[in-house]
Amino acid sequence: MDGSDLKPLFFDLTKDSLALLLASRFKAPSYCASQIYDWVYRKGVRNPASMTNVKKALREELGSLLSFQPINYKNYLKSRDGTFKFLFEFEDGECVESVLINQDGRYTICVSSQAGCALGCRFCCTAKIGLRRNLSTSEIISQILSVSSFASRLGIEASSIVFMGMGEPLHNFKRVVSALKILTDPDGLGFSERKITLSTSGLVPAISDLYKTGLRVNLAVSLNATTDKVRTELMPINRRYPISLLLDTLK
């Protein structure tokens, strides 16, 4: 939620959630959610009054019901290799980083899913912060929208998304899954599942739960060692989910 607007953010809602909201509030048919998604995510419209194929009465209500303004980055830095790092500060003062990565002229957006992290991996700077809180779906989606908008002003199109920023994505399961649904929805941001990679330290139950959602994004598992002894020293999560269990789950 943006500190300048106390209304709920549109970007917290999957298309199904939006359809349920519109049906319960206005008895609107389900296709209205697809229309609104198309205007916001495909056409970049932020003012409901401009959504001309949506019924006028519904357009007038939408603006008072939801905020359609994504959270914007506070600052950014550019490195010599063409990579951009963005700082997002939320209304409660928590901050996360996103990165626009240049790989031989192909650009990827790296997003954060948590402010801090609870898993304590020895090699990770974020682990030193500890877990501050999970990000909302809108805070995740806003990173992608804001960085994409920045890139487009430079004539750059980001073709892939990686959940490899701050936090363990599967530790914020519900909101990350909602973000993935928005990203892959044809009326939403329309990314191919093959263009999205989620990095995890190996939360075995959540890996199984992700598979059950039907989402088939790429999964990058951070191993960092070939033995349980070394991996446990580096990644305490290995005490609960050792390598053999992790590999069996991935099969």
The model's pTM:
0.95
pLDDT at 7: 82
Q: For residues 19-28, give the mean pLDDT.
A: 96
Higher pLDDT: 68 or 2? It is 68
The fold for domain 75-250 equals: TIM Barrel (3.20.20)
pLDDT at 4: 42
Say if 10-65 and 75-250 have the same CATH topology: no
pLDDT at 3: 41
Q: Whole-angstrom Cα distance, residue 174 to residue 176?
A: 6
226 pLDDT more than 50: yes
DSSP string, 30-41: THHHHHHHIIII
Q: For residues 167-182, give the mean pLDDT.
A: 98
198 pLDDT more than 60: yes
223 pLDDT more than 90: yes
The residues facing 129 across adjacent strands are: none
230-244 residue pLDDT tens: 999 999 999 999 999
Please state, for a pLDDT cut of 70, what percent of the chain lies above it: 98
65 pLDDT more than 90: yes
108 pLDDT more than 60: yes
Q: Whole-angstrom Cα distance, residue 213 to residue 155?
A: 35
pLDDT averaged over every residue in the chain: 95
Among residues 174, 218, 180, 198, which one has the least CA distance to residue 15? 180
DSSP string, 205-249: HHHHHHHHTT---EEEE----SSHHHHHHH-GGGGTS-HHHHHHH
Taking the alpha carbons at both ends of the chain, their separation in whole angstroms is 39
- The CATH number given to 10-65 is 1.10.150.530
User: Can you give the residue ranges of every domain in the chain?
Assistant: 10-65, 75-250
At 6, the pLDDT band (50, 70, 90 cuts) reads low
Q: For residues 126-149, give the mean pLDDT.
A: 97
179 pLDDT more than 90: yes
